[in-house]
Structure 1
Amino acid sequence: MRTARASRQLIAANGQVALIAPQQPLPWITETKTALSGNEARDRTWLMDWLKRDGRSLGDRGKNPWCGDFMETCIRIILPDEPLLGALGTNPNWARNWLLFGQDIKPITGAVLVFKRGSGGHVGFAIGQNDAHFYVLGGNQSDAVTIARIAKSRLLGARWPATYLPRLQRLPTMKPGEFLATTNEI
Protein backbone atom coordinates (compact mmCIF):
# COMPACT_ATOMS: atom_id res chain seq x y z
CA MET A 1 0.00 0.00 0.00
CA ARG A 2 2.72 2.44 0.93
CA THR A 3 4.64 1.64 -2.26
CA ALA A 4 1.64 2.42 -4.48
CA ARG A 5 1.01 5.65 -2.58
CA ALA A 6 4.68 6.66 -2.82
CA SER A 7 4.67 5.91 -6.54
CA ARG A 8 1.62 8.15 -7.07
CA GLN A 9 3.32 10.92 -5.08
CA LEU A 10 6.50 10.58 -7.17
CA ILE A 11 4.48 10.85 -10.37
CA ALA A 12 2.58 13.87 -9.04
CA ALA A 13 5.80 15.57 -7.90
CA ASN A 14 7.55 15.08 -11.23
CA GLY A 15 4.51 15.49 -13.43
CA GLN A 16 5.36 12.42 -15.48
CA VAL A 17 5.10 8.66 -15.32
CA ALA A 18 8.11 6.78 -14.01
CA LEU A 19 9.44 4.05 -16.30
CA ILE A 20 9.58 1.20 -13.80
CA ALA A 21 8.33 0.43 -10.33
CA PRO A 22 10.57 -0.35 -7.35
CA GLN A 23 11.66 -4.02 -7.26
CA GLN A 24 10.18 -4.92 -3.86
CA PRO A 25 7.80 -7.87 -3.52
CA LEU A 26 4.39 -7.07 -4.99
CA PRO A 27 2.07 -6.47 -2.03
CA TRP A 28 -0.90 -8.32 -3.54
CA ILE A 29 1.24 -11.41 -4.18
CA THR A 30 2.53 -11.28 -0.60
CA GLU A 31 -1.08 -11.00 0.66
CA THR A 32 -2.29 -13.79 -1.61
CA LYS A 33 0.40 -16.13 -0.28
CA THR A 34 -1.02 -15.72 3.25
CA ALA A 35 -4.00 -17.75 2.05
CA LEU A 36 -1.99 -20.35 0.09
CA SER A 37 -3.32 -23.88 0.62
CA GLY A 38 -6.57 -22.64 2.21
CA ASN A 39 -9.18 -25.21 1.17
CA GLU A 40 -12.91 -24.51 0.85
CA ALA A 41 -13.87 -27.72 2.67
CA ARG A 42 -11.05 -28.35 5.15
CA ASP A 43 -10.54 -24.66 6.06
CA ARG A 44 -14.07 -23.41 5.37
CA THR A 45 -14.47 -21.01 8.32
CA TRP A 46 -10.96 -19.61 8.03
CA LEU A 47 -11.27 -19.12 4.25
CA MET A 48 -14.68 -17.45 4.51
CA ASP A 49 -13.34 -15.08 7.17
CA TRP A 50 -10.28 -14.32 5.01
CA LEU A 51 -12.48 -13.53 2.00
CA LYS A 52 -14.79 -11.27 4.07
CA ARG A 53 -11.93 -8.94 5.09
CA ASP A 54 -12.83 -6.58 2.23
CA GLY A 55 -16.36 -6.19 3.62
CA ARG A 56 -17.97 -8.28 0.88
CA SER A 57 -18.65 -11.94 0.40
CA LEU A 58 -19.85 -14.19 -2.39
CA GLY A 59 -21.47 -16.72 -0.08
CA ASP A 60 -20.93 -20.46 0.18
CA ARG A 61 -17.55 -21.33 -1.36
CA GLY A 62 -18.64 -24.91 -1.93
CA LYS A 63 -21.54 -23.83 -4.14
CA ASN A 64 -20.27 -20.67 -5.88
CA PRO A 65 -17.15 -20.14 -8.00
CA TRP A 66 -14.97 -17.85 -5.91
CA CYS A 67 -11.86 -17.03 -7.96
CA GLY A 68 -13.19 -13.49 -8.62
CA ASP A 69 -14.12 -13.00 -4.96
CA PHE A 70 -10.58 -14.04 -4.02
CA MET A 71 -9.10 -11.48 -6.45
CA GLU A 72 -11.40 -8.73 -5.18
CA THR A 73 -10.37 -9.36 -1.57
CA CYS A 74 -6.66 -9.21 -2.45
CA ILE A 75 -7.02 -6.01 -4.48
CA ARG A 76 -9.37 -4.16 -2.11
CA ILE A 77 -7.22 -4.96 0.94
CA ILE A 78 -3.86 -4.06 -0.64
CA LEU A 79 -4.87 -1.39 -3.19
CA PRO A 80 -7.93 0.28 -1.63
CA ASP A 81 -7.77 3.21 -4.07
CA GLU A 82 -7.82 0.93 -7.12
CA PRO A 83 -11.03 1.56 -9.06
CA LEU A 84 -13.21 -1.42 -9.93
CA LEU A 85 -15.34 0.13 -12.64
CA GLY A 86 -18.42 -0.91 -14.59
CA ALA A 87 -19.40 -4.57 -14.52
CA LEU A 88 -16.27 -5.38 -12.48
CA GLY A 89 -17.40 -3.05 -9.69
CA THR A 90 -20.91 -4.46 -9.82
CA ASN A 91 -19.92 -8.13 -10.04
CA PRO A 92 -16.22 -8.86 -9.37
CA ASN A 93 -17.12 -12.52 -8.82
CA TRP A 94 -17.62 -13.08 -12.58
CA ALA A 95 -14.07 -13.91 -13.74
CA ARG A 96 -14.39 -12.35 -17.20
CA ASN A 97 -15.29 -8.98 -15.64
CA TRP A 98 -11.63 -8.77 -14.58
CA LEU A 99 -10.87 -7.92 -18.23
CA LEU A 100 -12.08 -4.43 -17.19
CA PHE A 101 -9.53 -4.16 -14.38
CA GLY A 102 -6.81 -1.50 -14.49
CA GLN A 103 -4.79 -1.41 -17.68
CA ASP A 104 -3.98 -3.89 -20.44
CA ILE A 105 -0.49 -5.39 -20.21
CA LYS A 106 1.52 -8.35 -21.44
CA PRO A 107 1.67 -11.17 -18.89
CA ILE A 108 4.26 -10.24 -16.24
CA THR A 109 4.75 -11.31 -12.64
CA GLY A 110 1.79 -10.16 -10.59
CA ALA A 111 -0.49 -9.40 -13.54
CA VAL A 112 -4.13 -10.41 -13.31
CA LEU A 113 -4.66 -13.15 -15.90
CA VAL A 114 -8.17 -13.87 -17.17
CA PHE A 115 -8.85 -17.24 -18.79
CA LYS A 116 -11.77 -18.68 -20.72
CA ARG A 117 -13.56 -21.71 -19.38
CA GLY A 118 -16.63 -22.49 -21.45
CA SER A 119 -18.86 -19.41 -21.37
CA GLY A 120 -17.38 -18.49 -17.99
CA GLY A 121 -13.80 -18.01 -16.95
CA HIS A 122 -11.11 -18.08 -14.33
CA VAL A 123 -8.89 -15.35 -12.89
CA GLY A 124 -5.63 -15.35 -10.91
CA PHE A 125 -2.21 -13.72 -10.56
CA ALA A 126 0.66 -14.62 -12.93
CA ILE A 127 3.75 -15.99 -11.18
CA GLY A 128 5.48 -17.99 -13.92
CA GLN A 129 5.27 -19.71 -17.27
CA ASN A 130 6.64 -22.43 -19.49
CA ASP A 131 6.19 -22.91 -23.24
CA ALA A 132 2.56 -23.99 -23.01
CA HIS A 133 1.28 -22.83 -19.60
CA PHE A 134 0.99 -19.93 -17.20
CA TYR A 135 1.48 -20.63 -13.51
CA VAL A 136 -1.26 -18.84 -11.63
CA LEU A 137 -1.62 -18.04 -7.94
CA GLY A 138 -5.30 -17.80 -7.16
CA GLY A 139 -8.42 -19.02 -5.45
CA ASN A 140 -10.85 -21.79 -6.39
CA GLN A 141 -8.12 -23.83 -8.04
CA SER A 142 -8.90 -27.43 -7.07
CA ASP A 143 -11.21 -25.88 -4.44
CA ALA A 144 -8.30 -24.15 -2.70
CA VAL A 145 -5.83 -21.28 -2.91
CA THR A 146 -3.04 -22.82 -4.96
CA ILE A 147 -0.56 -22.33 -7.76
CA ALA A 148 -2.12 -23.84 -10.86
CA ARG A 149 -0.80 -24.56 -14.34
CA ILE A 150 -3.24 -23.22 -16.96
CA ALA A 151 -2.85 -23.51 -20.75
CA LYS A 152 -1.71 -20.30 -22.45
CA SER A 153 -4.25 -20.98 -25.20
CA ARG A 154 -7.03 -20.15 -22.71
CA LEU A 155 -5.74 -16.63 -21.93
CA LEU A 156 -8.24 -13.86 -22.67
CA GLY A 157 -6.17 -11.00 -21.29
CA ALA A 158 -3.65 -9.71 -18.78
CA ARG A 159 -4.33 -6.64 -16.63
CA TRP A 160 -2.33 -4.47 -14.24
CA PRO A 161 -3.59 -2.15 -11.47
CA ALA A 162 -4.07 1.44 -12.64
CA THR A 163 -2.71 2.75 -9.31
CA TYR A 164 0.57 0.78 -9.30
CA LEU A 165 3.48 1.20 -11.68
CA PRO A 166 4.10 -1.94 -13.78
CA ARG A 167 7.31 -3.90 -13.55
CA LEU A 168 8.56 -4.61 -17.00
CA GLN A 169 10.08 -8.01 -16.34
CA ARG A 170 9.44 -11.40 -17.91
CA LEU A 171 7.60 -14.10 -16.07
CA PRO A 172 10.05 -16.62 -14.62
CA THR A 173 10.26 -19.94 -16.43
CA MET A 174 8.87 -22.83 -14.42
CA LYS A 175 9.72 -26.50 -14.90
CA PRO A 176 7.09 -28.61 -16.69
CA GLY A 177 5.22 -30.67 -14.12
CA GLU A 178 6.36 -28.44 -11.25
CA PHE A 179 2.70 -27.81 -10.39
CA LEU A 180 -0.31 -29.89 -11.35
CA ALA A 181 -3.04 -28.54 -13.58
CA THR A 182 -6.07 -28.04 -11.37
CA THR A 183 -9.01 -30.35 -11.81
CA ASN A 184 -11.57 -27.56 -12.08
CA GLU A 185 -9.50 -25.38 -14.42
CA ILE A 186 -8.80 -27.81 -17.27
Structure 2
Amino acid sequence: MDEPRWLARARRNLGVKETPGRASTPSILKYRVMARVLLEGDDGAVPWCAIFVNAMLEAVGVRGSRSGMARSFSRWGKALPKDRIPAGAVVVLSSDRGPASGHVGFACGVSATHVWLLGGNQGDAVSVAPFRRERIVAVVWPGVEPVGPAMALKVAAAGAEVSDA
Protein backbone atom coordinates (compact mmCIF):
# COMPACT_ATOMS: atom_id res chain seq x y z
CA MET A 1 0.00 0.00 0.00
CA ASP A 2 1.22 3.48 -0.77
CA GLU A 3 1.75 5.97 2.01
CA PRO A 4 -1.51 7.63 3.15
CA ARG A 5 -2.02 10.94 1.38
CA TRP A 6 -2.06 12.93 4.67
CA LEU A 7 1.34 11.50 5.62
CA ALA A 8 2.73 12.33 2.18
CA ARG A 9 1.37 15.86 2.56
CA ALA A 10 2.95 16.16 6.02
CA ARG A 11 6.35 15.04 4.65
CA ARG A 12 6.32 17.96 2.23
CA ASN A 13 6.31 20.28 5.26
CA LEU A 14 9.39 18.82 6.98
CA GLY A 15 11.71 21.59 8.11
CA VAL A 16 9.11 24.33 8.66
CA LYS A 17 10.32 26.08 11.83
CA GLU A 18 8.90 28.49 14.37
CA THR A 19 10.00 32.10 14.08
CA PRO A 20 11.91 33.06 17.23
CA GLY A 21 10.38 35.81 19.37
CA ARG A 22 6.90 37.24 19.15
CA ALA A 23 6.55 36.83 15.37
CA SER A 24 4.86 33.88 13.72
CA THR A 25 5.92 31.78 10.75
CA PRO A 26 3.56 32.31 7.78
CA SER A 27 3.32 28.53 7.16
CA ILE A 28 2.29 27.89 10.77
CA LEU A 29 -0.32 30.65 10.59
CA LYS A 30 -1.60 28.97 7.40
CA TYR A 31 -1.86 25.63 9.28
CA ARG A 32 -4.26 27.29 11.73
CA VAL A 33 -6.55 28.32 8.87
CA MET A 34 -6.29 24.93 7.12
CA ALA A 35 -7.02 23.15 10.42
CA ARG A 36 -10.02 25.37 11.16
CA VAL A 37 -8.43 26.10 14.55
CA LEU A 38 -8.06 29.86 14.75
CA LEU A 39 -6.07 30.33 17.95
CA GLU A 40 -4.40 33.66 18.59
CA GLY A 41 -0.79 34.07 19.67
CA ASP A 42 2.72 33.59 18.35
CA ASP A 43 4.18 30.19 17.40
CA GLY A 44 6.20 29.88 20.59
CA ALA A 45 3.15 30.44 22.80
CA VAL A 46 0.57 28.33 20.95
CA PRO A 47 1.05 24.55 21.00
CA TRP A 48 0.57 23.62 17.36
CA CYS A 49 1.03 19.84 17.11
CA ALA A 50 -2.75 19.23 16.85
CA ILE A 51 -3.07 22.19 14.49
CA PHE A 52 -0.50 20.60 12.17
CA VAL A 53 -2.20 17.17 12.22
CA ASN A 54 -5.60 18.77 11.57
CA ALA A 55 -4.16 20.90 8.74
CA MET A 56 -2.61 17.93 6.95
CA LEU A 57 -5.81 15.89 7.24
CA GLU A 58 -8.06 18.74 6.10
CA ALA A 59 -5.69 19.55 3.21
CA VAL A 60 -6.41 16.15 1.67
CA GLY A 61 -10.15 16.17 2.34
CA VAL A 62 -10.25 14.28 5.66
CA ARG A 63 -12.08 16.01 8.48
CA GLY A 64 -9.82 16.32 11.50
CA SER A 65 -10.80 16.86 15.12
CA ARG A 66 -10.91 20.62 14.50
CA SER A 67 -9.45 21.20 17.96
CA GLY A 68 -6.13 22.63 19.06
CA MET A 69 -5.87 19.98 21.80
CA ALA A 70 -3.70 16.93 21.08
CA ARG A 71 -5.93 14.71 23.22
CA SER A 72 -8.95 15.60 21.05
CA PHE A 73 -7.70 12.92 18.65
CA SER A 74 -8.24 10.25 21.35
CA ARG A 75 -11.96 10.55 20.62
CA TRP A 76 -11.63 10.92 16.83
CA GLY A 77 -11.65 8.34 14.08
CA LYS A 78 -11.32 4.59 14.48
CA ALA A 79 -9.33 3.25 17.46
CA LEU A 80 -6.51 0.86 16.56
CA PRO A 81 -4.42 -1.51 18.68
CA LYS A 82 -1.32 0.14 20.14
CA ASP A 83 0.84 -2.81 19.12
CA ARG A 84 -0.02 -2.79 15.39
CA ILE A 85 0.54 0.74 14.13
CA PRO A 86 0.14 1.49 10.40
CA ALA A 87 2.09 4.26 8.69
CA GLY A 88 0.06 7.45 8.85
CA ALA A 89 -1.90 6.51 11.98
CA VAL A 90 -2.54 9.43 14.29
CA VAL A 91 -0.76 8.71 17.57
CA VAL A 92 -1.70 10.55 20.75
CA LEU A 93 0.91 10.68 23.51
CA SER A 94 0.74 11.52 27.20
CA SER A 95 2.56 14.50 28.63
CA ASP A 96 4.08 15.36 31.98
CA ARG A 97 2.01 18.59 31.89
CA GLY A 98 -1.12 16.79 33.14
CA PRO A 99 -3.88 14.44 31.97
CA ALA A 100 -5.45 16.99 29.61
CA SER A 101 -2.14 17.69 27.86
CA GLY A 102 -0.36 15.61 25.29
CA HIS A 103 1.28 15.48 21.91
CA VAL A 104 0.05 14.15 18.55
CA GLY A 105 1.63 13.25 15.24
CA PHE A 106 1.59 10.78 12.35
CA ALA A 107 3.29 7.40 12.83
CA CYS A 108 6.12 6.86 10.37
CA GLY A 109 8.24 4.21 12.12
CA VAL A 110 8.17 1.80 15.04
CA SER A 111 10.56 -0.29 17.10
CA ALA A 112 10.03 -2.42 20.16
CA THR A 113 10.49 0.64 22.38
CA HIS A 114 9.73 3.71 20.25
CA VAL A 115 7.29 5.14 17.76
CA TRP A 116 8.56 7.76 15.31
CA LEU A 117 6.15 10.60 14.68
CA LEU A 118 6.13 13.09 11.85
CA GLY A 119 4.56 16.09 13.51
CA GLY A 120 4.50 19.79 14.16
CA ASN A 121 5.93 21.54 17.20
CA GLN A 122 8.58 18.85 17.63
CA GLY A 123 11.71 20.79 18.50
CA ASP A 124 9.82 23.92 17.38
CA ALA A 125 9.58 22.53 13.84
CA VAL A 126 7.88 20.01 11.59
CA SER A 127 10.13 17.01 12.08
CA VAL A 128 10.37 13.28 12.67
CA ALA A 129 11.13 12.36 16.27
CA PRO A 130 11.11 9.19 18.40
CA PHE A 131 8.88 8.80 21.46
CA ARG A 132 8.74 5.96 23.97
CA ARG A 133 5.86 3.58 23.22
CA GLU A 134 4.65 3.57 26.84
CA ARG A 135 3.56 7.19 26.30
CA ILE A 136 0.95 6.15 23.70
CA VAL A 137 -2.56 7.08 24.83
CA ALA A 138 -4.33 6.26 21.57
CA VAL A 139 -3.70 5.18 17.99
CA VAL A 140 -6.46 6.25 15.62
CA TRP A 141 -7.24 6.25 11.90
CA PRO A 142 -9.65 8.37 9.83
CA GLY A 143 -12.96 6.51 10.09
CA VAL A 144 -13.78 6.72 6.38
CA GLU A 145 -10.40 5.50 5.12
CA PRO A 146 -9.23 1.88 4.72
CA VAL A 147 -6.65 1.05 7.39
CA GLY A 148 -3.17 0.28 6.13
CA PRO A 149 -1.01 -2.63 7.27
CA ALA A 150 0.95 -2.42 10.51
CA MET A 151 4.54 -1.26 10.07
CA ALA A 152 7.32 -3.78 10.60
CA LEU A 153 9.51 -3.20 13.64
CA LYS A 154 12.81 -1.48 12.93
CA VAL A 155 15.87 -3.38 14.05
CA ALA A 156 18.24 -0.92 15.68
CA ALA A 157 21.92 -1.55 16.17
CA ALA A 158 22.97 -1.84 19.80
CA GLY A 159 22.73 1.57 21.40
CA ALA A 160 21.44 3.17 18.20
CA GLU A 161 17.96 3.92 19.46
CA VAL A 162 17.46 7.57 20.29
CA SER A 163 15.83 8.67 23.55
CA ASP A 164 12.69 10.82 23.68
CA ALA A 165 12.61 14.02 21.70
What TM-score do the two structures reach when normalised by structure 2? 0.81
Structure-1 residue corresponding to 2:2 = 24
Residues 9-88 of structure 1 correspond to what in structure 2 (within 5 A)?
23-41=1-19, 44-59=25-40, 60-80=42-62, 82=63, 84=64, 88=65
SS of equivalent to 2:72? helix
Residues 32-181 of structure 1 correspond to what in structure 2 (within 5 A)?
32-41=10-19, 44-59=25-40, 60-80=42-62, 82=63, 84=64, 88-89=65-66, 92-106=67-81, 107-118=85-96, 119=98, 120-173=101-154, 175=156, 177=160, 181=164
Tell me which amino acid in the other structure corresponds to 2:90.
V
Answer whether contact 1:124 1:137 (CA < 8 A) is retained. Answer: yes
* Alpha-carbon distance in 1 for matches of 2:140, 2:155: 21
RMSD of aligned residue pairs (Cα, Å)? 2.2
SS of equivalent to 1:99? helix
- Of all paired residues, the percent bearing the same amino acid is 25
Structure 2 gap segments, 5+ residues each: none
Q: 1:53 to 1:25 in 2, by over 3 A?
A: same
* Alpha-carbon distance in 2 for matches of 1:24, 1:39: 27
Q: 1:160 to 1:62 in 2, by over 3 A?
A: same
Q: Which has the larger radius of gyration?
A: 1
Answer whether contact 2:111 2:154 (CA < 8 A) is retained. Answer: yes
SS of equivalent to 1:117? coil
Residue 170 (structure 1) shift: 2.4
Q: 1:113 to 1:54 in 2, by over 3 A?
A: closer
What TM-score do the two structures reach when normalised by structure 1? 0.73
Q: How many positions carry a matched residue from both structures?
A: 153
* Alpha-carbon distance in 2 for matches of 1:58, 1:146: 22
SS of equivalent to 1:170? coil
